[in-house]
């Protein structure tokens, strides 16, 4: 079985330097749930994430409620371009699925199909890496799966995420 857990050790880690861009990163806020839900639904192929907008909204509400772990406000962000939400990264204190995993965990990274290729995912991951490293976290991890695009995997690899060694 392939290892779907990727980890980036943060000791001495430096987030990628980003060029000037029109992307405005803002804190992830519950007031934006409707925008986030629509974005989340549009970001994934049919049948991979939420089935419809109501389910996407429920998943966003559950994220804010802590159903997938305690949010790290410093590492979570929403990307905006010209006043429109175009992407988000959701990071929790630790994985609720991996008891032995230490450090923050990215539960979701998604971007509007129209915004892909414009550095949104890269900016969001760089933000999370910087925030977690600044807070002294030992590592930042995530799981890849059916909904992980080749572009997202490339972003993770460029930032230095590698498969976690398992025993």
Q: What is the pLDDT of residues 6-30, one digit of tens each?
A: 999 998 655 556 666 789 999 999 9
Do the beta carbons of residue 87 and residue 121 sit within 8 Å?
yes
Is residue 55 one of the residues assigned to a domain? no
Is residue 95 one of the residues assigned to a domain? yes
Q: List, for residues 27-52, the tens digit of each pLDDT value.
A: 999 999 999 999 999 998 887 889 99
| Residue 102 structural domain | 5-28+72-162
State the burial class of residue 24 (Cβ atoms within 10 Å of its Cβ: 0-12, 13-18, 19+).
middle
Number of domains in the chain: 1
Is residue 66 one of the residues assigned to a domain? no
pTM of the model: 0.91
């Amino acid at each position: 079985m392939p290892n779907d857990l990727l980890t980036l050790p943060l000791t001495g880690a430096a987030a990628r330097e980003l060029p000037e861009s029109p992307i405005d990163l803002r804190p992830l806020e519950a007031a934006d749930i409707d925008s986030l839900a629509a974005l989340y639904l549009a970001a994934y192929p049919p049948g991979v994430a939420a089935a419809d907008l109501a389910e996407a909204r429920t998943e966003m509400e559950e994220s804010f409620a802590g159903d997938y772990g305690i949010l790290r406000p410093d590492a979570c962000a929403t990307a905006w371009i010209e006043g429109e939400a175009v992407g988000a990264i959701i990071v929790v204190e630790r994985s609720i699925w991996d008891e032995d995993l230490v450090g923050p965990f990215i539960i979701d990274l998604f971007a509007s199909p129209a915004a892909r290729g414009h550095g949104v995912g890269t900016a969001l991951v760089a933000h999370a890496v910087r925030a977690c490293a600044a807070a002294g976290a030992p590592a930042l991890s995530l799981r890849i799966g059916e909904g992980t695009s080749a572009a997202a995997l490339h972003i993770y690899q460029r930032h230095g995420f590698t498969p976690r060694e398992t025993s």
